[in-house]
Every structure is written in C-alpha cells, then in structure tokens.
Amino acid sequence: MDKIVTIYTTPTCHFCHMAKDFFEANGVAYTEHDVLSDLEKRQEMIRRSGQMGVPVIIIGDDLIVGFDQERIASLLDLA
C-alpha cells in the first residue's frame, strides 16, 4: 500500500521546492498545504510538529521537519 504524503510549505521556501521536485521526479503523489495563506493548516502543522519552520513532511505516520532526502527516500522505499 502506498503511504500518504503531505507537505506543509510556503511559496518562497527553497527546501519546500526541493522536496516537491524530489516527489515529482520519483512519481510520488502528495498533498500540499501552503501555510502562508492557510491559517488553519498552519495551526495544524504547528500542532502536529511543534515547529514553525517548513517544510514539514508527513509520510504515513512519520513526520520529517526539513528536506531530509535520504530519510524520505527510505520511508518511500526509494532507496
């Protein structure tokens, strides 16, 4: 079963763009939430991660703060 991937981003976040490019290059479907314009999703991200920085990436039950390509690849069985 494919893991559900969610990413919390802002439009100007370089690491957010890197993460989305990585997902697209590897054919990984994801749901994106822009926490700059969506206050509800920003509050959800902070509640789930305890962080205000982006990206916050959730893969299945695993939460990653920042773009940790090696860990993301491992969690998605791309390694």
C-alpha gyration radius of the chain: 12
Report percent pLDDT > 70 for the chain: 97
**Which helix (H) or strand (E) element contains residue 39?**
helix 39-49
Average pLDDT, the chain: 96
CB atoms within 10 A of CB 60: 13
Q: Structural domain of residue 56, as residue ranges?
A: 5-75
What is the CATH number for 13? Answer: 3.40.30.10
User: pLDDT tens-digit profile of 22-37?
Assistant: 999 999 999 999 999 9
How many degrees, rounded to 5, is the angle at CA 32 between CA 8 and CA 2? 105
Look at residue 16 in the predicted model and tell me its pLDDT: 98
Dihedral of CA atoms 21, 53, 56, 66 in degrees, nearest 10, equals 60
Domain count of the chain? 1
Look at residue 2 in the predicted model and tell me its pLDDT: 79
The pTM of the full predicted model, rounded to 2 decimals, is 0.94
pLDDT of residue 1 exceeding 60, the answer is: no
